[in-house]
Amino acid sequence: MALVTTKKMFEAAYKNHYAVGAFNVNNMEITQGIMEAIAEEKAPLILQISKGAREYASIGYLKAIIDVAVSENPDIPISMHLDHGDTFELCKQCVDDGFTSVMIDASSKPFDENVKLTKKVVEYAHDHGVVVEAELGQLGGIEEHVQGVDDVSKHLTDPDQVVEFVGKTGCDSLAVACGTSHGAYKFKSASTLAFNVIEDVEKKLPNFPLVMHGSSSVLKEFKDLINKYGGKMPDAMGVPEDAITKASKMAICKVNIDTDLRMALTAKIRQVFAEKPGEFDPRKYLGPGREAIKQMVKHKLNILGCAGKAGECR
């Protein structure tokens, strides 16, 4: 099947209490690892392309890779999504380039400016059959071009603003700030997500899909491998997987995962280089990295509850 929007995915996810995995892609091996996992687990999929990925690989290459993934998996609903678009021009270009979903992130702006920019993107995207994710409240941490805040507790989504925001903008889904953070160094101690924010927003926006960013778990398996083979990530800490599962059973219909992909790939490459220092064939270290991504994604699909759900999302 051709690329699809997230509309049916989110309707099914909300109704049946799971979340769809949204995985960031930068190259062929990452995409292949994700797709192999998705094909085996029969899960719906959102492939995300960030501003940084577009600069690294160019949309032509990335779109061609995704086109192959779609053609080789005709029974899997796949959406191509712009992650953290920061201008109308970027969102417009992605709509024109064939994305089926775009995010406009104006969360750092005052409420009225966020509404104005989001509404402008929504009007253009909807005219072209594309859905829009917006954001209200701010996450912590740093990831690619996204600069978060230092104290996430002071920038959580205000449930009292969500009805007005969605009503004025017409956005199709909303990323909420509920205590998560971008990057590998999300927390200094065990994290506590603001589930009350999710609950309160859900009450005010029944049947409306919410999105959770900054949701990589910084899995110990890969952190230990990276550190064992020369890395220095002793303080890296992510979102506990039981918290992700709990959020996925609420109104969270989309969970973004990027850092865990990077860590899986990096850990295996470091391991190959350490165990085989004479290795120079990229296939011999990118191949194990791709396999690590596959196994990690399969695990995540079950954490999110979307494994086996591809059929109900078509």
Residue 44, both tokens: 């719906």
pLDDT band at residue 20, thresholds of 50, 70 and 90?
very high
Looking at domain 7-220+235-258+294-313, its CATH superfamily turns out to be Aldolase class I (3.20.20.70)
The structure tokens 């491998």 sit at 225
Give the pLDDT confidence score for residue 12 in this predicted structure: 98
Give the pLDDT confidence score for residue 185 in this predicted structure: 52
Q: Is the pLDDT of residue 295 over 50?
A: yes
- The predicted model gives 33-37 an average pLDDT of 98
Number of other CB atoms surrounding residue 189 within 10 Å: 6
Give the pLDDT confidence score for residue 142 in this predicted structure: 39
pLDDT tens readout for residues 148-157:
444 445 578 9
- The predicted model gives 9-38 an average pLDDT of 98
Give the pLDDT confidence score for residue 174 in this predicted structure: 97
Q: Helices 111-127 and 159-169, interaxial angle, to 10°? A: 40
pLDDT tens readout for residues 73-109:
999 999 999 999 999 999 999 999 999 999 999 998 9
Q: Is the pLDDT of residue 259 over 60?
A: yes
Residue 59, both tokens: 């949309």
pLDDT tens readout for residues 215-242:
888 899 999 999 999 999 887 778 889 9
Mean pLDDT of the chain: 91
165 — phi, psi (to 5°)?
Answer: -65, -50
- The predicted model gives 7-17 an average pLDDT of 98
CA distance linking residue 188 with residue 31, whole number of Å:
31
pLDDT tens readout for residues 269-284:
999 999 999 999 999 9
pLDDT band at residue 181, thresholds of 50, 70 and 90?
low
Closest CA to 14 of 244, 209, 301, 242: 209
- Give the CB-side neighbour count of residue 109, counting CA atoms within 13 A: 15
Give the pLDDT confidence score for residue 184 in this predicted structure: 53
Give the pairing type, strands 142-143 and 146-147: antiparallel
- Give the CB-side neighbour count of residue 4, counting CA atoms within 13 A: 19
User: Which helix (H) or strand (E) element contains residue 303?
Assistant: helix 282-304
Asked if 168 contacts 121 with a C-beta cutoff of 8 angstroms, the reply is no
Give the pLDDT confidence score for residue 178 in this predicted structure: 87
- The predicted model gives 34-50 an average pLDDT of 97
CA distance linking residue 105 with residue 96, whole number of Å:
18
Detail the DSSP E strand segments found in 137-282.
Answer: 142-143, 146-147, 173-176, 210-212, 252-257
pLDDT tens readout for residues 184-199:
555 555 567 889 999 9
Cα–Cα distances (Å) from 74 to 38, 122, 178, 199, in that order, read 12, 29, 35, 36
User: Which helix (H) or strand (E) element contains residue 48?
Assistant: strand 45-50
Q: Is the pLDDT of residue 123 over 80?
A: yes
Put simply, whether the predicted model's pTM sits higher than 0.85 gets the answer yes
User: Which helix (H) or strand (E) element contains residue 159?
Assistant: helix 159-169
The structure tokens 């890296």 sit at 236
User: Which helix (H) or strand (E) element contains residue 270?
Assistant: helix 259-275
Q: Which residues are catalytic, by number? A: 83
